[in-house]
């Protein structure tokens, strides 16, 4: 998987939605890449993971200390009707 890929992981504890921030090796057939971040969105994601996180127990996911509010916008590809 390449930096910016958006994927779904079915695996044992999934399903999980995730984005890769760098090239990643070793994913098996239980992961499906279904989208890709543009350069601006990838930079935003990289900045988000630098924000402070809540303490986590070993083996747990880290969550951002403060929520981030946002709105999603769908952009139609050029030439789409």
Q: Give the range of the structural domain holding residue 18, as residue numbers without chain letter.
A: 5-38
Query: Side-chain half-sphere of 81: how many Cα atoms within 13 Å?
Result: 0
How many independent structural domains does the chain possess? 1
- The pLDDT-based confidence of 71 (bands split at 50, 70, 90) is confident
Residue 81 lies in a domain: no
Residue 20 lies in a domain: yes
Residue 80 is predicted with a pLDDT of: 63
Residue 12 is predicted with a pLDDT of: 63
The pTM for the full model equals 0.63
pLDDT in tens, 11-66: 666 677 788 888 888 766 667 888 899 999 999 989 988 999 888 888 777 788 99
Distance, C-alpha 48 to centroid of its chain: 11
Residue 51 lies in a domain: no
**Residue 36: Cβ within 10 Å count:** 15
Residue 75 is predicted with a pLDDT of: 78
Residue 31 lies in a domain: yes
Residue 26 lies in a domain: yes
- Measure the CA–CA gap between 65 and 63, rounded to whole angstroms: 6
Residue 77 is predicted with a pLDDT of: 77
């Amino acid at each position: 998987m390449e930096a910016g890929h958006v994927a779904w992981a079915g695996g044992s504890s999934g399903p999980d939605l995730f984005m890769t921030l760098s090239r990643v090796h070793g994913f098996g057939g239980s992961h499906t890449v279904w989208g890709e971040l543009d350069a601006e969105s990838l930079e935003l994601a990289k900045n988000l993971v630098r924000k402070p996180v809540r303490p986590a127990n070993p083996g747990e996911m880290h969550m951002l200390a403060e929520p981030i509010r946002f709105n999603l916008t769908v952009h139609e590809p050029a030439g789409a009707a």
